[in-house]
Amino acid sequence: MDGAVKVLAFDVFGTVVDWHGSVVREVQAMELDVDADAFALAWRAGYAPAMQRVMSGELGWTLIDELHRMILDQILEAFGVTHLNEAEKRHLNRAWHRLDPWPDSVEGLKRLKTRYPICTLSNGNIGLLTHMARHAGLPWDCILSAEVFRRYKPHPDTYLGVARVFDLAPEEVMLVAAHQDDLDAARACGLRTAYIERPLEFGTNHPKDVAPNPANTRHATSLTDLARQLGC
C-alpha cells in the first residue's frame, strides 16, 4: 500500500499550521476594529482566485507574499480599516510567516522524519515557508514550493516535480494534506495520498467535513496518528 513510499511531501496551510487561528490572533494583537474571524476567512478566500489570475496568465508569475498583500489591501478597504501605515501593513502581511503549528505537527514531523525525508509542497513561497519553519519549529529536510516549479498546485508539474527532484517514480511520493482536492490532483499524477483531519481549519465557528475518502492511501486524525500508522 505505502511500502514503496520514499518521500513524504506536505501541504502546509491548514495541514501543518493553523492559518485561521494564527491570523485571528495577529488581527486581535493589532487591535484592528474588525470581526477577526471574518477577516481571516476573507483573506484566505481571496487566495485561490488570486492564484487563478496567475495561472490564467492575467498576472505574471507572482509570489504568495505579493498575492497576500494584494488581497490584504482589498480587504482592509472592505472592512473599513484605513489607519494602518505601510510598516504596519507589511507586518500584518507577514502574519503568514508566523503561523502556529497544530499541537501535533512538530512531534508528528519529527517522528515521520526518522524514516522518511520530509518536504513541503506548498503554494507558499520559499522565504515564507522558511521563516514559518523557524517560527514554528518545523523540522523540514527540504522546502519545496510552487516557486521552485513556477506552477501552483493543483498543476501536475508540482506533484510530479517532487518525484523528479528526488529521482523517484510518482508512486514513491506520498502527499500529506487536509484537503481532498489537493489529494485528488496528486493521486491523478500517480502519487500516494494521506488525508489529515483538520476539522477546525476554518475556526471553531465553521467546522469542516473530514469524512474519509477511500481513494486515499491513508486517513489520519493528526500527524502523530499518521506517524503511528507508518510505524514511526
If you search the block for the grid coordinates 496528486, which residue do you land on? 186
Name the one range near a second copy by CB under 8 A: 36-44, 69-77, 127-135, 194-202. 127-135
Site membership for a second copy, residue 134 (CB under 8 A): yes
CA distances from 106 to 6, 11, 50 (A): 20, 14, 30
Q: How far is the CB of 140 from a second copy (least distance, A)?
A: 8
Among 47, 79, 166, 202, the residue binding a second copy under the rule CB under 8 A is 166
Is the CB of 131 or the CB of 208 nearer to a second copy? Answer: 131
Give yes or no for a contact between 27 and 98, defined as CB atoms under 8 angstroms apart.
no
How many angstroms separate the CA atoms of 99 and 139, rounded? 15
Site membership for a second copy, residue 65 (CB under 8 A): yes
Give yes or no for a contact between 71 and 89, defined as CB atoms under 8 angstroms apart.
no
Is the CB of 40 or the CB of 72 nearer to a second copy? Answer: 72
Kindly write out the interface string for residues 72-111 of this chain, putting x where it contacts a second copy by CB under 8 A and - elsewhere.
----------------------------------------
Give pairs for 54-57: CB < 8 Å, separation 24+. 54/152, 55/151, 55/152, 55/155
Is the CB of 32 or the CB of 173 nearer to a second copy? Answer: 173
Is the CB of 126 or the CB of 160 nearer to a second copy? Answer: 126
Site membership for a second copy, residue 193 (CB under 8 A): no
Sign of the CA dihedral with 220 first, then 226, 228, and 229 last: positive
CB-neighbour burial class of residue 167 (10 A; exposed 0-12, middle 13-18, buried 19+): exposed
Chain contacts with a second copy (rule: CB under 8 A): 65, 117, 119, 125-127, 129-131, 133-134, 141-144, 147-148, 165-167
